[in-house]
Amino acid sequence: MNATDILPLDAETKAFEAPHGHKDELRLWLRLLTCTNLVETEIRRRLRDGFDVTLPRFDLMAQLERAPQGMTLGEMSKRMMVSNGNVTGLVERLVESGHLERAPLPSDRRVQVIKLTTEGRSEFSAMAEAHEAWIAEMFEDLSAREIEALLKALGKLKASVLPTLRDAGRPS
Protein backbone atom coordinates (compact mmCIF):
# COMPACT_ATOMS: atom_id res chain seq x y z
CA MET A 1 0.00 0.00 0.00
CA ASN A 2 2.69 2.47 0.86
CA ALA A 3 6.15 3.01 -0.50
CA THR A 4 7.54 0.68 2.10
CA ASP A 5 6.17 -2.20 0.09
CA ILE A 6 8.22 -1.24 -2.87
CA LEU A 7 11.17 0.67 -1.64
CA PRO A 8 11.92 -0.65 1.79
CA LEU A 9 14.58 1.95 2.41
CA ASP A 10 12.16 4.83 2.48
CA ALA A 11 11.05 4.45 6.02
CA GLU A 12 14.58 4.50 7.17
CA THR A 13 15.56 7.34 4.90
CA LYS A 14 12.80 9.36 6.42
CA ALA A 15 13.87 8.49 9.90
CA PHE A 16 17.28 9.76 9.13
CA GLU A 17 16.25 13.07 7.73
CA ALA A 18 17.56 15.92 9.77
CA PRO A 19 14.88 16.65 12.37
CA HIS A 20 15.88 20.29 12.14
CA GLY A 21 18.23 22.27 9.98
CA HIS A 22 15.84 24.98 8.96
CA LYS A 23 16.86 27.03 11.93
CA ASP A 24 18.71 29.57 9.83
CA GLU A 25 15.65 30.34 7.78
CA LEU A 26 13.75 30.83 10.98
CA ARG A 27 16.41 33.09 12.40
CA LEU A 28 16.35 35.14 9.24
CA TRP A 29 12.59 35.43 9.40
CA LEU A 30 12.71 36.58 13.00
CA ARG A 31 15.36 39.12 12.23
CA LEU A 32 13.38 40.43 9.29
CA LEU A 33 10.42 40.80 11.58
CA THR A 34 12.47 42.60 14.20
CA CYS A 35 13.86 45.10 11.73
CA THR A 36 10.46 45.81 10.26
CA ASN A 37 8.91 46.22 13.68
CA LEU A 38 11.59 48.57 14.91
CA VAL A 39 11.31 50.85 11.93
CA GLU A 40 7.55 50.68 11.77
CA THR A 41 7.09 51.49 15.43
CA GLU A 42 9.38 54.48 15.23
CA ILE A 43 7.76 55.79 12.05
CA ARG A 44 4.38 55.43 13.69
CA ARG A 45 5.52 57.45 16.67
CA ARG A 46 7.04 60.21 14.58
CA LEU A 47 3.99 60.49 12.36
CA ARG A 48 1.85 60.79 15.43
CA ASP A 49 4.07 63.29 17.19
CA GLY A 50 4.87 65.38 14.14
CA PHE A 51 1.71 65.23 12.09
CA ASP A 52 -0.95 63.69 14.27
CA VAL A 53 -1.59 61.00 11.72
CA THR A 54 -1.60 57.23 11.96
CA LEU A 55 0.57 54.96 9.86
CA PRO A 56 -2.25 53.29 7.93
CA ARG A 57 -3.66 56.71 7.00
CA PHE A 58 -0.22 57.75 5.83
CA ASP A 59 0.18 54.58 3.82
CA LEU A 60 -3.13 55.04 2.13
CA MET A 61 -2.35 58.64 1.21
CA ALA A 62 1.05 57.57 -0.07
CA GLN A 63 -0.59 55.18 -2.48
CA LEU A 64 -3.01 57.83 -3.62
CA GLU A 65 -0.34 60.42 -4.24
CA ARG A 66 1.11 58.31 -7.02
CA ALA A 67 -2.25 58.05 -8.70
CA PRO A 68 -3.33 61.64 -9.43
CA GLN A 69 -6.31 60.38 -11.37
CA GLY A 70 -7.55 58.52 -8.31
CA MET A 71 -7.99 54.90 -7.55
CA THR A 72 -10.61 52.28 -6.92
CA LEU A 73 -11.10 50.93 -3.42
CA GLY A 74 -10.31 47.44 -4.63
CA GLU A 75 -7.12 48.66 -6.24
CA MET A 76 -6.15 50.33 -2.98
CA SER A 77 -6.87 47.14 -1.11
CA LYS A 78 -4.49 45.21 -3.37
CA ARG A 79 -1.74 47.81 -3.20
CA MET A 80 -1.88 48.12 0.55
CA MET A 81 -2.19 44.36 0.91
CA VAL A 82 -5.04 44.68 3.37
CA SER A 83 -8.64 43.54 3.33
CA ASN A 84 -11.44 45.32 1.54
CA GLY A 85 -13.28 46.14 4.70
CA ASN A 86 -10.19 47.68 6.13
CA VAL A 87 -9.94 50.11 3.23
CA THR A 88 -13.61 50.98 3.52
CA GLY A 89 -13.08 52.10 7.11
CA LEU A 90 -9.85 53.99 6.49
CA VAL A 91 -11.34 55.84 3.54
CA GLU A 92 -14.41 56.70 5.55
CA ARG A 93 -12.31 58.39 8.22
CA LEU A 94 -10.05 60.14 5.73
CA VAL A 95 -13.01 61.53 3.84
CA GLU A 96 -14.47 62.63 7.15
CA SER A 97 -11.26 64.51 7.99
CA GLY A 98 -11.15 66.16 4.59
CA HIS A 99 -8.06 64.45 3.23
CA LEU A 100 -9.85 62.41 0.60
CA GLU A 101 -12.80 62.73 -1.69
CA ARG A 102 -14.76 59.81 -2.90
CA ALA A 103 -16.93 59.66 -5.99
CA PRO A 104 -18.99 56.97 -7.63
CA LEU A 105 -17.98 56.05 -11.15
CA PRO A 106 -20.91 56.70 -13.50
CA SER A 107 -19.89 53.98 -15.90
CA ASP A 108 -19.95 51.32 -13.17
CA ARG A 109 -22.16 51.99 -10.23
CA ARG A 110 -20.39 49.46 -8.02
CA VAL A 111 -17.15 51.39 -8.08
CA GLN A 112 -16.00 54.17 -5.77
CA VAL A 113 -13.02 56.27 -6.89
CA ILE A 114 -10.97 58.09 -4.28
CA LYS A 115 -8.61 61.03 -4.70
CA LEU A 116 -6.58 63.24 -2.42
CA THR A 117 -8.15 66.62 -1.83
CA THR A 118 -5.96 69.69 -2.28
CA GLU A 119 -5.53 69.96 1.47
CA GLY A 120 -4.88 66.25 1.71
CA ARG A 121 -2.22 66.46 -0.94
CA SER A 122 -0.49 69.39 0.65
CA GLU A 123 -0.58 67.88 4.13
CA PHE A 124 0.74 64.67 2.76
CA SER A 125 3.69 66.16 0.95
CA ALA A 126 5.05 67.59 4.20
CA MET A 127 4.71 64.19 5.82
CA ALA A 128 6.29 62.39 2.91
CA GLU A 129 9.33 64.62 2.96
CA ALA A 130 9.85 64.02 6.64
CA HIS A 131 9.20 60.34 6.23
CA GLU A 132 11.84 59.96 3.56
CA ALA A 133 14.35 61.74 5.75
CA TRP A 134 13.51 59.51 8.72
CA ILE A 135 14.12 56.38 6.71
CA ALA A 136 17.38 57.79 5.38
CA GLU A 137 18.43 58.57 8.93
CA MET A 138 17.59 55.12 10.20
CA PHE A 139 19.38 53.42 7.32
CA GLU A 140 22.32 55.76 7.54
CA ASP A 141 24.91 53.15 8.44
CA LEU A 142 24.27 51.16 5.31
CA SER A 143 26.40 51.99 2.30
CA ALA A 144 24.91 52.37 -1.16
CA ARG A 145 26.42 49.01 -1.98
CA GLU A 146 24.82 47.35 1.01
CA ILE A 147 21.48 48.86 0.20
CA GLU A 148 21.74 47.60 -3.32
CA ALA A 149 22.67 44.14 -2.09
CA LEU A 150 19.77 44.05 0.35
CA LEU A 151 17.35 45.19 -2.32
CA LYS A 152 18.48 42.40 -4.54
CA ALA A 153 18.44 39.72 -1.86
CA LEU A 154 15.00 40.74 -0.69
CA GLY A 155 13.84 40.70 -4.28
CA LYS A 156 14.93 37.12 -4.44
CA LEU A 157 13.26 36.35 -1.15
CA LYS A 158 10.03 37.84 -2.44
CA ALA A 159 10.31 35.71 -5.56
CA SER A 160 10.83 32.69 -3.37
CA VAL A 161 7.83 33.41 -1.19
CA LEU A 162 5.33 34.26 -3.91
CA PRO A 163 4.93 30.79 -5.43
CA THR A 164 4.27 29.28 -2.02
CA LEU A 165 1.17 31.35 -1.38
CA ARG A 166 -1.91 29.23 -1.30
CA ASP A 167 -5.01 30.42 -3.03
CA ALA A 168 -7.52 31.02 -0.28
CA GLY A 169 -10.67 29.84 -1.98
CA ARG A 170 -9.95 27.96 -5.17
CA PRO A 171 -13.06 27.61 -7.35
CA SER A 172 -12.46 25.56 -10.50
Partner DNA sequence: CGCGATTATTTCAAACTTAAACCATTGGCG
Partner DNA sequence: CGCCAATGGTTTAAGTTTGAAATAATCGCG
Residues that bind DNA (CB under 7 A): 41, 44-45, 48, 54-57, 72-75, 77, 81-91, 93, 107-113, 168, 171
Q: Which CB sits closer to its own copies, 34 or 104? A: 34
Residues that bind its own copies (CB under 8 A): 20, 22-29, 31-42, 45-46, 81, 132-142, 144, 146-151, 153-162, 164-166, 168
Q: Which CB sits closer to DNA, 14 or 48? A: 48
Q: Under 8 Å CB-to-CB from 55, ≥6 apart: which residues? A: 40, 43, 44, 47
The whole-angstrom separation of Cα 79 and Cα 20 is 36
In whole angstroms, the minimum distance from the beta carbon of 136 to DNA comes to 21
In whole angstroms, the minimum distance from the beta carbon of 104 to its own copies comes to 30
Q: Which CB sits closer to its own copies, 5 or 96? A: 5
